[in-house]
Amino acid sequence: MKTTKLLFGFVLAVVLSAVAWGNGEAANCKGLPSESELQTLLQAAPACVGCTGTIITGGTTVGGLFNGANMWGAVVDRDGKLCAFATSTTDPTQTWPGSQAIAKAKAYTANAFSNDASASGGPLALSTALLYTFAQPGHSLFGLNNSNPFNPDLLAPTGGQGGGKNQIVGGIITFGGGVPLYNSSGQIIGGLGVSGDTACADHEIAKRVRDLAELNPSGGPLVDDIVYTPPSVFLHPKCLNTFQNGSAVGSETQAPGY
């Protein structure tokens, strides 16, 4: 009897966990990049051959520490369920292990706070970069990062196996590297997250991947672009060796007194 109760308790826990994280149904990944396609896009993004001209007006450099060469990428569907994840490197262990969770959470965040339409009539495409200022102390969305916890069951080993597909990712990231994905009819169908360099370089790679995949919002590839120039409610700080659309825009301000 005791064994039966323990078994029942285990099964119940598994069922409740599946319900909580949306594991009951397969993700709707139609129109979204597959794992192999995502890796190809991540590898193509630094050179950006085939990108829209507005994305590479000053050249192809994305800056940062590695020029966007060591990236994790993740794609979720409109429900926030994980569809695909991959690294730009053929050996996943050569990317930052911590970037896997960040990429998945960025994909979830970009999808979670973007819509097909806004009060102005167009789509509300909200990259994670545009959330930065709002989430700082004293601003209206301070605490947002604690609102939707990341599901650790979706982490794969550094080799990349497993990783919890078809489950809701969760996690909120409020700096550059996540963008919403739209189909040709202007409907949001998911989100893309990229991590593995500075937040600024991550954003540059993410918008290039989206552009190459032809999944831009109807307002174009730069409608939710990162903002470095004040005054703006969407202001994002510069990073080390920051580039935007192929042009150098400066570097993060050094902290005094340390």
Residue 150 clears pLDDT 60, i.e. is over it: yes
pLDDT, tens digit (0-9, with 9 covering 90-100), for 112-147: 999 987 666 667 999 999 999 999 999 899 889 888
Contact 188, 116 (CB under 8 A): yes
For the chain, give every domain's residue range.
25-250
pLDDT of amino acid 143: 84
CB 35 within 8 A of CB 43: no
Query: Could you report the per-residue pLDDT of 41-57, keeping only the tens digit for each?
Result: 999 999 999 999 999 99
Cα 233 → chain centroid: 21
Query: 127 with 134: CB under 8 angstroms?
Result: no
179 neighbors 215 (Cβ within 8 angstroms): no
Is 127 within 8 Å of 224 (Cβ atoms)?
yes
Residue of higher predicted confidence among 257 and 227:
227
- pTM for the model stands at 0.87
Supply the pLDDT for residue 163: 66
The model's pLDDT over 92-107, given as tens digits with 9 standing for 90+, comes to 888 999 999 999 999 9
Superfamily of domain 25-250: Haem-degrading domain (3.30.450.150)
Query: How confident is the model over 1-43, as pLDDT tens digits?
Result: 444 443 334 333 333 333 333 344 788 999 999 999 999 999 9
Average pLDDT over residues 48-71: 95
* Residue given tokens 């193509």 in the structure block: 44
